[in-house]
């Protein structure tokens, strides 16, 4: 009897195991249906369950195509899934506009939403690092026509709108009008800190950039000046100085300075001018014949020299007078006053007159001699110098 009971117990255990396996598998009638998950399980946990990764990717691709269909978009590349948070993205072109790109993003958490990468809202999304950056995934499509905001799109970690664009454009235009500047390019309102910039040219031909941010206001930077050149070399508003917070202020015979968010750029004429004149004189082999004059127009400098020996290409012979002129905008260049080019320059009022500062040295050929100046060119045919 004990042996019989042992066999019976073994059979019962086997049957229990089989039944338990059947229940765990869901039974033949439920083999294809996933077991329900509690509502409180977060999406990340559900996505980790066996067999759901492919399903999630398929859902994402289908959602991208549905959104593209709604917006009348044509694919520009393949699907890219496996993004942060299990997301997918695909680029599209609007019908008849192959030069414009719209990226449609999807996650199970946010749904499918389009970002127009050719629009200022999309530009800001791009420069902030796309979905991995400041804003995360889009949680809405872009909506336009909103009062004071222009176009608006919401993202996981914030909102991008055009309020700063309207304010920036208005401030830049007002500043340019006061300075009588003419634009040379379009507004760029994709700068860091929701800033804007536009390039202009002054009545005197100088290249001016006006920068604006809500924190600093609209300020002009003379890009032809040594201060502006130093700002550019430091990679503009992105670099060591940040946005300008004042206009450039110059003192005759002293120098110029402009304040920026993170520092001040100073330019000392009394040092820069003489250094530039001496360097040019040394390069040309000239001997000083006078003292420095450094309170000229536009805070320029000049000095008189003589040219020892003789030179080619129309340069003065030994003992003939040469003047070297310098300004921050034009650099240092020599004018041969014994040549007809130099005599015409002197007769026109030198640097304060018709031609302004020289912007090149005198160049001569078999046909004649030419020298360029800020406001024009002097040409003298061969044999008339």
Q: What is the pLDDT of residue 252?
A: 65
Joined together, the tokens standing for residue 369 give 């001699």
- Average pLDDT over every residue of 39-44: 32
Of residues 20 and 350, more confidently modeled: 350
pLDDT for the residue 31: 31
Which of 169, 160, 157 has the alpha carbon at shortest distance from 198? 169
Q: In this prediction, what percent of the chain has a pLDDT beyond 70?
A: 82
**pLDDT for position 3:** 42
* Residue 106, both tokens: 């999807």
Tokens of 367: 């046909």
Q: Which of 20-24, 293-297, 314-318, 356-360 has the lowest mean pLDDT?
A: 20-24
Reported as a single tens digit per residue, the pLDDT across 316-352 is 445 789 999 998 889 999 999 999 999 999 999 999 9
pLDDT in the model for residue 57: 93
Confidence band for 56, pLDDT divided at 50, 70 and 90: confident
The pLDDT value given to residue 383: 81
Task: Report pLDDT for 341.
Answer: 97
pLDDT band at 163 (very low <50, low <70, confident <90, very high): confident
CA atoms in the 13 A half-sphere facing the CB of 305: 27
Q: Quick: pLDDT tens for 248-266.
A: 998 765 678 999 999 999 9
Q: Are 150 and 165 in contact (CB under 8 A)?
A: yes
Nearest CA-CA partner of 383 in 363, 362, 369: 369
Q: Which residue has the tokens 């719209």?
A: 102
Q: How confident is the model at residue 272 (pLDDT cuts 50, 70, 90)?
A: confident
Q: Domain locations in the chain? A: 50-160, 164-261, 270-381
Q: Is the predicted pLDDT of residue 315 greater than 70, yes or no? A: no
Q: What is the mean pLDDT of residues 148-158?
A: 90
- For residue 267, the model assigns a pLDDT of 85
Dist CA 342 CA 336 (whole Å): 5
Query: For 41-50, 177-186, 258-267, 362-371, which range has the lowest pLDDT when averaged over its residues?
Result: 41-50
pLDDT at position 2 is 42
In this prediction, residues 371-377 reach a mean pLDDT of 96
Average pLDDT score over the chain: 84
Give the percent of the chain with pLDDT over 90. Answer: 62
Stronger pLDDT, 36 or 5, i.e. the higher one: 5
Beta-carbon contacts of residue 137 (< 8 Å; ≥ 6 apart): 85, 87, 105, 107, 109, 110, 113, 131, 155, 156
| pTM confidence score | 0.53
- Where does the pLDDT of residue 52 fall: very low under 50, low under 70, confident under 90, or very high at 90 and above? low
> In whole angstroms, what is the distance from residue 114 CA to residue 119 CA?
12
Lowest-pLDDT range of 36-40, 300-304, 325-329:
36-40
Per-residue pLDDT averaged across 127-146, rounded? 94
Rounded CA separation 302/171 (Å) = 39
Query: If DSSP states are collapsed to H, E and C, what string results for the chain?
Result: CHHHHHHHHHHHHHHHHHHHHHHHHCCHHHCCCCCCCCCCCCHHHHHCCCCHHHHHHHHHHHHHHHHHHHHCEEECCCCEECCHHHCEEEEEEECCCCCCCEEEEEECCCEEEEEECCCHHHHHHHHCCHHHCCCCCECCCCEEEECCCEEEEEECCEEEECHHHHHHHHHHHHHHHHHCCEECCCCEEEEHHHEEEEEEECCCCCEEEEEEECCCEEEEEECCCHHHHHHHHCCHHHCCCCCECCCCEEECCCEEEEEECCEEEEEEHHHHHHHHHHHHHHHHCCEECCCCECCCHHHCEEEEEEECCCCCCCCCCCCEEEEEEEECCCEEEEEECCCHHHHHHHHCCHHHCCCCCECCCCEEECCEEEEEECCEEEEEECCCC
The partner residues of 91 in beta bridges, in order of sequence, read: 103
Cross-strand pairs, 222: 208
**Which carries the bigger pLDDT value, residue 309 or residue 270?**
270
Q: With bands split at pLDDT 50, 70 and 90, how would you rate the model's confidence at 372? A: very high
Q: Phi and psi (nearest 5°) for 8?
A: -60, -45
């Amino acid at each position: 009897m004990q042996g019989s009971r042992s066999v019976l117990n073994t059979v019962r255990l086997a049957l229990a195991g089989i039944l338990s396996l059947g229940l765990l598998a869901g039974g033949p009638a439920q083999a294809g249906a996933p077991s329900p998950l509690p509502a409180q399980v977060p999406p990340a946990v559900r996505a980790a369950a066996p067999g759901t990764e492919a399903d999630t990717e398929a859902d994402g691709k289908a959602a991208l195509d549905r959104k593209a269909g709604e917006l009348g978009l044509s694919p520009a590349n393949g699907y890219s899934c496996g993004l942060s948070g299990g997301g997918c993205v695909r680029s599209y072109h609007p019908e008849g506009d192959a030069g414009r790109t719209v990226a449609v993003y999807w996650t199970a958490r946010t749904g499918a939403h389009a970002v127009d990468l050719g629009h200022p809202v999309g530009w800001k999304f791009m420069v902030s690092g796309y979905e991995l950056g400041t804003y995360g995934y889009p949680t809405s499509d872009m909506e336009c026509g909103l009062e004071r905001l222009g176009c608006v799109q919401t993202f996981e970690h914030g909102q991008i709108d055009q309020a700063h664009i309207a304010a920036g454009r208005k401030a830049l235009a007002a500043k340019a009008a006061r300075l009588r500047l003419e634009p040379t390019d379009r507004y760029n309102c994709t700068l860091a800190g929701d800033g804007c910039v536009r390039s202009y040219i002054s009545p005197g031909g100088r290249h001016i950039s006006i920068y604006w941010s809500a924190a600093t206001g609209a300020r002009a930077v003379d890009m032809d000046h040594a201060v502006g050149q130093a700002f550019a070399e430091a990679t503009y508003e992105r670099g060591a100085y940040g946005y300008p917070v004042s206009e450039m202020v110059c003192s005759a015979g002293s120098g110029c300075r402009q304040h920026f968010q993170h520092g001040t750029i100073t330019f000392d004429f009394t040092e820069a001018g003489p250094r530039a004149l001496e360097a040019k004189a040394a390069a040309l082999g000239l001997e000083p014949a006078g003292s420095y004059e450094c309170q000229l127009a536009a805070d320029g400098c000049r000095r008189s020299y003589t040219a020892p020996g003789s030179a080619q290409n129309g340069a003065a012979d030994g003992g003939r007078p040469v003047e070297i002129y310098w300004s921050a905008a034009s650099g240092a260049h020599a004018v041969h006053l014994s040549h007809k080019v130099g005599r015409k320059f002197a007769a026109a009022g030198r640097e304060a007159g018709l031609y302004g500062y020289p912007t090149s040295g005198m160049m001569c050929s078999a046909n004649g001699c030419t020298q360029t100046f800020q406001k024009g060119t002097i040409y003298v045919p061969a044999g008339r110098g």
